[in-house]
């Protein structure tokens, strides 16, 4: 089995900071701690409403982060300008507004192909490797191919929010989608809503080479600390995927 990388999303360290307008807890310090304790990359989402990560977090993290930065952003020219200037190794384009989303919550690439393609082109020209965050939907897969993005992140939110037969059906859909996406030449990632209890079946899908996990790791770290929370999720990944 191929190795499975873990990207740790530190947005919600900033959520706690922003709740009080303090300088702590610092997501940059959290990113450095995560990188020293098993994170293969650091994911941050600079939202248009700046509800958690701020521009200065990206500016402070960029020169010191010892692992690649994966910058999540909306598909707007202002956000793409920021990505082009900051040049993170990875950019993941995500939906923020309702009209940019498919029913499952991923980016509606098919409905916004010209603007998504232009963003991919500008970010690639700046040296960023671009992923599209999409639902496991064949219509979005075909559009993603046309956009020129080399990577896809499968939205696992519906999988995480369901149980029983509905969850099993979504898992099967994700597994088939990952196979098709890899066959089309994409590098395949997954994320959203994953935790120690539900990560196993996703980690077992062999075409998926990276998981991006945030909320559950940061929440768990309140009780056991960030290094132990990362170790716990890595152990759950490794149990499902022995090379992880």
Q: Catalytic residue positions?
A: 45, 72, 192
Give me the phi and psi of 3, to 5 degrees please. -60, 155
Looking at the Cβ atoms of 50 and 63, the one nearer to ligand PXP is 50
Contact assessment for residue 110 and residue 161, using Cβ atoms and an 8 Å cutoff: no
Choice from 90, 212, 237, 244 touching ligand PXP (CB under 6 A): 212
Choice from 4, 33, 67, 94 touching ligand PXP (CB under 6 A): 94
Q: What is the DSSP string of the chain?
A: ----EEEEE-HHHHHHHHHHT-S-S-HHHHHHHHHTTT-SEEEEE--TT-SS--HHHHHHHHHH-SS-EEEEE-SSHHHHHHHHHH--SEEEE---SGGGB-TTSSB-TGGGHHHHHHHHHHHHHTTPEEEEEE-S-HHHHHHHHHHT-SEEEEE-HHHHH--HHHHHHHHHHHHHHHHHHHHTT-EEEEESS--TTTHHHHHT-TTEEEEEE-HHHHHHHHHH-HHHHHHHHHHHHHHHSTT-
Per CB under 6 A, does 108 bind ligand PXP?
A: no
Count of residues binding ligand PXP (CB under 6 A)? 16
Instruction: State how far the Cα of 238 lies from the Cα of 38, in Å rounded to an integer.
Output: 12
Q: In sequence order, what are the beta bridge partners of 154?
A: 134, 190
Instruction: State how far the Cα of 144 lies from the Cα of 136, in Å rounded to an integer.
Output: 12
Looking at the Cβ atoms of 2 and 51, the one nearer to ligand PXP is 51
The footprint of ligand PXP on residues 116-135 (CB under 6 A) is 133
Per CB under 6 A, does 80 bind ligand PXP?
A: no
The footprint of ligand PXP on residues 7-36 (CB under 6 A) is 9
What mask of x and - would describe binding to ligand PXP in positions 142 to 161, judged by CB under 6 A? -----------x--------
Choice from 32, 213, 230, 244 touching ligand PXP (CB under 6 A): 213
Q: Please, what is the minimum distance in Å from the beta carbon of residue 125 to ligand PXP? A: 22
Looking at the Cβ atoms of 45 and 234, the one nearer to ligand PXP is 45
Q: Please, what is the minimum distance in Å from the beta carbon of residue 44 to ligand PXP? A: 9
Q: Please, what is the minimum distance in Å from the beta carbon of residue 211 to ligand PXP? A: 8
What mask of x and - would describe binding to ligand PXP in positions 51 to 70, judged by CB under 6 A? --------------------
Looking at the Cβ atoms of 45 and 63, the one nearer to ligand PXP is 45
Q: Please, what is the minimum distance in Å from the beta carbon of residue 56 to ligand PXP? A: 20
Residues at the contact surface with ligand PXP, assessed by CB under 6 A:
9, 45, 72, 92, 94, 133, 153, 191-194, 212-216
């Amino acid at each position: 089995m191929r190795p499975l990388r873990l990207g740790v999303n530190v947005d919600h360290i900033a959520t706690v900071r922003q709740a009080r307008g303090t300088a702590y807890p610092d997501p940059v310090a959290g990113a450095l701690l995560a990188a020293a304790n098993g994170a293969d990359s650091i994911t941050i989402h600079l939202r248009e409403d700046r509800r958690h990560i701020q521009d200065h977090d990206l500016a402070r993290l960029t020169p010191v982060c010892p692992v690649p930065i994966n910058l999540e952003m909306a598909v707007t020219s202002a956000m793409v300008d920021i990505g082009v200037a900051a040049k993170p190794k990875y950019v993941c384009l995500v939906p923020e507004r309702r009209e940019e989303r498919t029913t499952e919550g991923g980016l509606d690439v098919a409905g916004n192909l010209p603007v998504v393609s232009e963003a991919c082109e500008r970010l690639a020209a700046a040296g960023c490797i671009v992923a599209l965050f999409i639902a496991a939907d064949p219509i979005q897969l075909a559009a993603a191919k046309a956009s020129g993005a080399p990577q896809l992140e499968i939205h696992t939110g519906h999988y995480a929010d369901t149980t029983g037969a509905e969850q099993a059906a979504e898992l099967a859909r994700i597994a088939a989608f990952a196979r098709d996406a890899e066959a089309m030449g994409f590098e395949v990632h997954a994320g959203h809503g994953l935790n120690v209890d539900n990560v196993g079946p996703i980690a077992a899908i062999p075409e998926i080479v990276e998981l991006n996990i945030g909320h559950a790791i940061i929440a768990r770290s309140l009780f056991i600390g960030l290094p132990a929370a990362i170790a716990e999720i890595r152990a759950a990944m490794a149990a499902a995927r022995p090379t992880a």
